[in-house]
């Protein structure tokens, strides 16, 4: 089974939970889908989020496959196995948290835990037709997750409904306090360059909700994407670059790591300056709206065949990666075109307003059945 790299059952009899194989589960090695880590020793303790799930009575059902070293967007992994996109089997599952997305789409887990450094929860969630949340940076403990040092990565949940996503957050974050309704909702519709069919699908859905909207411009999106790429390259090379010497890193990730080595100190200084500017821009935009809205992906997921032939597309993260840079919470809601192709709708909220973002998703998800 390619969804799980390690299949086991552990814990209570409450919700079933799948865990990305970049997150420690005591007694099991964390290999991050990489042959160079095949001799990794079993983790001595649970990651904080895993312990939280066990303390809540959840039942662990295994560790899910991932794009190697969580450093890719297709979700393909020749060594560990590529999870098959359950609802759209001809398309990529998306990465890097591919197995975690497929686990909930195929009802193998009630919710799953993934990580998101540049879209690695929201991209596979959108590809697989499920909900995914990148919480506010630092909201959920990353202790026991790879990489240990990061300015971008967040641990977060996947679920097949907005209600279960809220349940997952209650488990993973002891401070999470769900809301019951919102007194006023005003959506900031961000103008972005996307496939016209994706744009029209999102627009029709927003019209059905009859929620108040206003147009919003985020002029720094592309600059933030580039800055996010510089930082993830530098931080991933710092954490994993030594594995290149083993000769056991897959070709696509090895090539990316080799290029990441060239990220300069000047690139990092520039990226941090962009981070400050873009964060201010997003904060300002959110002063007058409940949340920002845009498609999750700028184009439809590529075919599995194209990805297997070696095609890559980091631009698939163009609309999600900027919010790793800024640290704002971002959530994707699954929609479909009339010809049943996956479309994600992304909500971005104020820092710390994860509860509001989840409640907004719950309110809006009631209109999906009307499509």
Domain parsing of the chain, residue ranges: 4-370
Q: Which of 47, 39, 90, 83 is nearest to 65 (CA)?
A: 83
Q: Is residue 305 classed exposed, middle or buried when 0-12, 13-18 and 19+ CB atoms within 10 A define those classes?
A: exposed
Q: Work out the angle at residue 207's Cα, subtended by the Cα atoms of residues 189 and 342, and round it to the nearest 5 degrees.
A: 80
Q: Which of 174, 173, 50, 61 is nearest to 110 (CA)?
A: 61
**0.95 exceeded by the pTM?**
yes
CA 69 – CA 224 distance, rounded (Å): 23
Q: Which of 233, 217, 213 is nearest to 324 (CA)?
A: 233
CATH code of the domain occupying 4-370:
3.90.1300.10
Per-residue pLDDT of the chain (371 residues; tens, 9 = 90+): 599 999 999 999 999 999 999 999 999 999 999 999 999 999 999 999 999 999 999 999 999 999 999 999 999 999 999 999 999 999 999 999 999 999 999 999 999 999 999 999 999 999 999 999 999 999 999 999 999 999 999 999 999 999 999 999 999 999 999 999 999 999 999 999 999 999 999 999 999 999 999 999 999 999 999 999 999 999 999 999 999 999 999 999 999 999 999 999 999 999 999 999 999 999 999 999 999 999 999 999 999 999 999 998 899 999 999 999 999 999 999 999 999 999 999 999 999 999 999 999 999 999 997 54
CA 363 – CA 204 distance, rounded (Å): 16
């Amino acid at each position: 089974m390619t969804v799980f790299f390690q299949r086991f059952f552990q814990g209570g009899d409450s919700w079933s939970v799948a865990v990305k194989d970049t997150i420690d589960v005591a007694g099991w090695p964390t290999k991050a889908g990489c042959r160079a880590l095949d001799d990794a020793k079993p983790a001595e303790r649970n990651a904080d989020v895993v312990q939280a799930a066990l303390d809540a009575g959840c039942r662990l059902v295994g560790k899910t496959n991932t794009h190697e070293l969580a450093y890719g967007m297709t979700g393909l992994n020749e060594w560990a196995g590529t999870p098959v996109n359950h609802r759209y089997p001809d398309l990529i599952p998306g990465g890097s948290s591919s197995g975690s997305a497929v686990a909930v789409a195929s009802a193998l887990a009630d919710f799953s835990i993934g990580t998101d450094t540049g879209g690695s929860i929201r991209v596979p969630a959108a590809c697989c037709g499920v909900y995914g949340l990148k919480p506010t940076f630092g909201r959920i403990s990353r202790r026991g997750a790879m990489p240990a040092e990061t300015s971008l990565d967040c641990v977060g949940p996947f679920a097949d409904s907005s209600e279960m996503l809220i349940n997952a957050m209650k488990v993973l974050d002891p401070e999470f306090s769900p809301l019951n309704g919102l007194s006023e909702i005003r959506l900031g519709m961000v103008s972005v360059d996307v496939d016209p069919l994706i744009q029209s699908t999102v627009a029709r859905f927003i019209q059905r909700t009859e929620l108040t909207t206003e147009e919003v411009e985020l002029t720094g999106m592309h600059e933030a994407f580039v800055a996010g790429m510089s930082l993830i390259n530098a931080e991933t090379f710092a954490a994993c670059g030594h594995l290149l010497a083993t000769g056991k890193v897959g070709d696509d990730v090895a090539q990316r790591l080799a290029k990441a080595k060239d990220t300069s100190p000047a690139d990092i200084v520039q990226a941090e300056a962009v981070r400050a500017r873009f964060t201010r821009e997003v904060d300002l935009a959110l002063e007058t709206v409940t949340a920002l809205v845009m498609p999750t992906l700028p184009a439809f997921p590529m075919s599995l065949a194209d990805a297997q032939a070696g095609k890559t597309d980091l631009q698939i993260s163009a609309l999600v990666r900027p919010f790793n840079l800024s640290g704002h919470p971002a959530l994707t809601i699954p929609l479909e075109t009339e010809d049943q192709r996956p479309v994600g709708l992304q909500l971005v909220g104020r820092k710390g307003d994860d509860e509001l973002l989840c409640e907004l998703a719950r309110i809006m998800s009631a209109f999906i059945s009307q499509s």
